[in-house]
């Protein structure tokens, strides 16, 4: 129970202001409910698309690096081939076996360099093929997600467009509705709304039950609520019990 020493009229006006705020918030909740999970789905798709784009960009960078390696390996092989020809020419003019064998070893090293370069080139080309396959699959998923995003955005914009004027009007009314409510009550109202599923922080007692959790409200407590001498909350769910609906069933 939130005790309040204010007069009956003041308490009644505070409860009326809270009920009005709850009415506006419930209408805003309904507008957002109609939108459902679309805003979240749109955000998720945008994040997924961004992830795919980063992945494609990373693949492109890796392929560029592999192509640079291939280019360097080809140059190494070309240089090695040039050295082999140079050493073979030198072999024709050696003066002894020692020089011949030394040059032969250099030729063998350069041939080994060519073999290593050719092997590395093939490995890099294979990696490029794999990455190109990954890129193709990623780009396909990217295009699919972009189409999904376009459809979801169109659907969302249609729904938003239908309710945009109403939402703007309600938000303007809400801005005015919170002005007469003291900060302490507004804080409590916001906290309660955040703790309940249906967003109802201020309710009426209907058919002897709390309008939020539907637990029975005892007669004496209903009398206290009707008196408007203090602000009373439901002992089961903590919602503010603003008034008692005394209408008789038809």
Give the confidence band of 5 by pLDDT, cuts at 50, 70, 90.
very low
Rounded to the nearest integer, the mean pLDDT of the chain is 92
Q: 32-176 maps to which CATH number?
A: 1.10.287.1490
* Residue 234: φ, ψ to 5°: -65, 130
Beta bridge partners of 233: 240
The residue among 206, 187, 196 whose CA lies nearest residue 238 is: 196
pLDDT, position 204 = 95
For the stretch 198-218, pLDDT in tens is 999 999 999 999 999 999 999
Query: Is the overall model pTM greater than 0.85, yes or no?
Result: no
- CATH 1.10.287.1490 range(s) for the chain read 32-176
Own/partner long-range contacts of 101-106 (Cβ < 8 Å, ≥24 apart): none
The residue among 70, 68, 64 whose CA lies nearest residue 135 is: 64
- pLDDT average, residue stretch 182-200: 94
Share of the chain above pLDDT 90, in %: 83
pLDDT, position 208 = 94
The yes-or-no verdict on residue 166 having pLDDT over 50 is yes
CA 166 from centroid of its chain's CA atoms = 27
* Residue 211: φ, ψ to 5°: -70, -5
The yes-or-no verdict on residue 248 having pLDDT over 70 is no
The yes-or-no verdict on residue 184 having pLDDT over 60 is yes
Tokens of 65: 């690096």
Tokens of 49: 């698309």
pLDDT, position 4 = 46
Give the confidence band of 6 by pLDDT, cuts at 50, 70, 90.
very low
Could you give the angle at which helices 183-195 and 8-35 cross, rounded to 10 degrees?
Answer: 40
The yes-or-no verdict on residue 249 having pLDDT over 70 is no
pLDDT, position 192 = 95
Between 197 and 129, name the one with better pLDDT: 129
For the stretch 35-62, pLDDT in tens is 888 889 999 999 999 999 999 999 999 9
- Which region holds residue 50: left if phi is over 0, alpha if psi is between -120 and 50, else beta? alpha
Name the 3-class secondary structure at 180: coil
């Amino acid at each position: 129970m939130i005790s309040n020493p204010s007069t009956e009229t003041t308490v009644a006006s505070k409860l009326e202001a809270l009920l009005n705020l709850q009415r506006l918030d419930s209408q805003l909740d309904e507008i957002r409910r109609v939108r459902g999970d679309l805003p979240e789905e749109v955000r998720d798709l945008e994040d997924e698309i961004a992830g795919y784009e980063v992945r494609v960009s990373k693949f492109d960078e890796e392929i560029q690096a592999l192509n640079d390696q291939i280019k360097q390996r080809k140059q190494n092989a070309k240089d090695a081939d040039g050295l082999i020809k140079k050493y073979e020419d030198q072999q024709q003019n050696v003066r002894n076996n020692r020089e011949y064998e030394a040059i032969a070893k250099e030729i063998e090293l350069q041939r080994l360099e060519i073999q290593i370069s050719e092997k590395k080139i093939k490995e890099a080309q294979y990696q490029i093929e794999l990455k190109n396959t990954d890129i193709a699959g990623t780009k396909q998923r990217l295009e699919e997600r972009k189409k999904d995003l376009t459809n979801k955005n169109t659907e969302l914009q249609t729904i938003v467009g239908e309710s945009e004027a109403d939402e703007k009007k309600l938000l303007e009314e809400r801005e005015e509705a919170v002005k007469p409510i003291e900060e302490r009550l507004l804080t409590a109202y916001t906290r309660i709304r955040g703790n309940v599923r249906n967003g109802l922080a201020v309710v009426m007692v209907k058919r002897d039950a709390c309008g939020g959790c539907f637990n029975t409200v005892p007669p004496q407590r209903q009398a206290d609520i009707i008196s408007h001498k203090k602000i009373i909350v439901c002992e089961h769910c903590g919602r503010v019990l603003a008034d008692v609906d005394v209408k008789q069933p038809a």
